[in-house]
Amino acid sequence: MAEGDVEMEYAEAYGARVPKVGLGTWQLTGGSCYETVSRALELGYRHIDTAQMYENETEVGRAIADAAVDRDAVFLTTKVSPRNAGHDALLRSTKESLERLDTPYVDLLLLHWPNPIVSVEDTMRAMDELVDDGRVNHIGVSNFPRVFLERARDAATSPVVTNQVQFHPYKPQRGMLGYCQDEGLFLTGYSPLARGVALEDDTVQRLAAEYDRTPAQIVLRWATQHRDVVVIPKTSDGEHLAENLALFDFKLTGSEVDELTKPSLRKSAAAMLNGFVSEFR
């Protein structure tokens, strides 16, 4: 298979069709961000995730504009900072995001975190206006507990298509995933490798040897075999970028998926800590 031609699975919700593996860009900035997104697009990534809080929208947008890929072929997500959750601030900041991204629209706009001092009705009303204006194709949220997600869905006219949350074998989000599956949303999983912690897991190591795959491929395949789950692993390493896409020519058994699922508050906390002290894939 030639570079740029990749086998891919998709998640679908309310008209959105999203590649199940995308590129997360948290902690990628400047030239490294531009080069990583450019390389990802060359390899065949067609789903890129950024955010106002990442301060890299300009580099992401420039990489997409410079790529030999039509803009319409890339599913582009950005996230509104919670400090911009108010109606007017959301409209203004999204306009600024579109300018930095150098695109007339984004495929998906999320509120990055709940803002308890801003009315969710105001937030969703602004998002609905952006959809009506054609500047946003789909809307969603990130890091929302179920009760907040339900309030957002009730407040919005446009369908809320996803909740982006931490998702990995130590934090399998069973309750949230079940809710999304029942309600027709897809779940977007960030930190799907538990920021490197899952790569050292004994079961992951054993299955990697048995399947002749990398530990990262085993963990990402675990995630993507869940119905309605999309993942956005982050890496700036070219070899890892390619590996993270090469998932869909093998499949774990149901018992192996179950064996890999190991809810652990301790290891989830360790994964969060790793995000602050070190940079993983």
Kindly list the catalytic residues: 54
Residue in 60, 130, 121, 138 with CA at minimum distance from that of residue 85 = 121
E strand map for 8-115: 10-13, 16-19, 23-24, 47-49, 75-80, 106-111
The 3-class secondary structure across 24-68, one letter per residue, is: ECCCCCHHHHHHHHHHHHHHCCCEEECCHHHCCHHHHHHHHHHCC
Query: What CA–CA distance (Å, rounded) separates 183 from 153?
Result: 11
Query: What CA–CA distance (Å, rounded) separates 44 from 135?
Result: 25
The answer to whether 225 and 257 are in contact (CB under 8 A) is: yes
